Amino acid sequence: MQKDLLTIEELCENDLNEIISLASKMKLKRDEWKPRPLEGKSVGMIFSKSSTRTRVSFEVGIRELGGNSIFMDMSDLQLNRGETFADTARVLSRYLHAAVIRTSKHDYVVEFAKAANIPVINALTDSFHPCQILADLFTIYEYSERLDGVRLAYLGDCSNNIANSLILGAKLSGLKLTLSSPEEFSPDFNLIRNPDMGRGDIRWVKNPSEAVQGADYIYTDVWVSMGFEKETKRRIELLDGYRINRDIVNEASPGVKIMHCLPAHRGEEITDDVLDDSRRSIVLDQAENRLHVQKAVLSIMFGEVGEATKKNNKKKG
């Protein structure tokens, strides 16, 4: 695994297998798990946007791995008064052993990571949310026992951080991804087409009914991401036909599962009955798996070698 996790592009297939296999063991044996790769280490959590799942799952996970987390609201740091991300990174690298950052522009995290000599994890930017998508891939793997060829339809804002990371996640894992939105919120076709970013069977269609045909999973996210509140009215008007409701669910595979990274805007991108359908909705598994996957990522970053790598090393002889 590379030093940082900023998108999903840094990961190879072996990294993904290792994360899934370690997360699965850590989940099964959460209470008995012994390794403490973060013993004596401090992880900084620098956030400029709200968070429930990411903040708490990272803080709990760091503690369970023996480390100490320090939460910093970005507005309290000198960053707020013009200190650069690079200078902040150079200084914090002298105190911390890793940094987890949630902010607006993706370039800020890139600037921080370039200047830092500690691992940096992107905890969401306007462009990417890799930790969420890793947890989602793990969740799909738990239900389908594979990723390659699994059909996922994503409806709604296809230009946001979740859609971008799903595209990269599909390229890495072989998920068959169909994105659906109006043209105004179409996906980043450069991400989809870039051959350097792996394989994948990814398409975009305007018609949400067409998108969900044969889908094993239907995924959505808020229509108004953090930082885009000024566009609320326009977004709700344009995305109105892309709501996940009972009718659209009935058009998919009979066993279709419903995914949402949460927080949900109930009644907007998803209806209550679909979100709360205990037979289909796996949103709480996704949320729980943030903890296990992030613990696996941190463990690998700090030297825990997983089964996938052991097997690979054996094969190499």
Least distance (Å) between residue 82 CB and ligand NVA: 25
**What is the DSSP code (8-state) at residue 3?**
S
Closest CA to 137 of 295, 298, 19: 19
Q: Which residue is nearest to ligand NVA (CB)?
A: 225
Please count the helices (runs of H) and the strands (runs of E) in the chain. Answer: 13, 9
Q: How many residues bind ligand CP (CB under 6 A)?
A: 9
Is 292 annotated in the active site? no
* Interatomic CA distance for residues 148 and 212, integer angstroms: 18
Contact 52, 263 (CB under 8 A): yes
Tell me the pairing of strands 201-205 and 176-180: parallel
Alpha carbon 112 to chain centroid, angstroms: 20
Tokens linked to 83: 């200190």
Q: Is 84 helix (H, G, I), strand (E, B) or coil?
A: coil
Question: Any contact of residue 160 with ligand NVA (CB under 6 A)?
Answer: yes
Least distance (Å) between residue 132 CB and ligand CP: 5
Is 132 annotated in the active site? yes
Span near ligand NVA by CB under 6 A; candidates 66-74, 159-167, 266-274, 290-298: 159-167
Q: Of residues 118-147, which lie at the interface with ligand NVA (CB under 6 A)?
A: 124
Question: Any contact of residue 261 with ligand NVA (CB under 6 A)?
Answer: yes
Q: Which residue of 24, 225, 286, 309 would you call a contact of ligand NVA, by CB under 6 A? A: 225
Question: Any contact of residue 118 with ligand CP (CB under 6 A)?
Answer: no
Q: Which is nearer to ligand CP, 45 or 179 (CB)?
A: 45
Q: Is 227 helix (H, G, I), strand (E, B) or coil?
A: coil
* Interatomic CA distance for residues 217 and 214, integer angstroms: 9
Tokens linked to 306: 């997983």
**What is the DSSP code (8-state) at residue 139?**
H
Which entry of ligand NVA, ligand CP, none binds 281, CB below 5 to 8 A by partner kind? none
Is 158 annotated in the active site? no
Sign of CA dihedral 120, 124, 126, 128: positive
Closest CA to 64 of 42, 47, 39: 39
Least distance (Å) between residue 129 CB and ligand NVA: 6
Span near ligand NVA by CB under 6 A; candidates 96-104, 207-215, 220-228, 239-247: 220-228
Which entry of ligand NVA, ligand CP, none binds 69, CB below 5 to 8 A by partner kind? none
Least distance (Å) between residue 227 CB and ligand NVA: 7
Footprint on this chain of ligand CP (rule: CB under 6 A): 51-54, 124, 132, 261-263
**Residue positions annotated with a catalytic role:** 102, 129, 132, 221, 261, 290
Footprint on this chain of ligand NVA (rule: CB under 6 A): 124, 160-162, 221-222, 225-226, 261
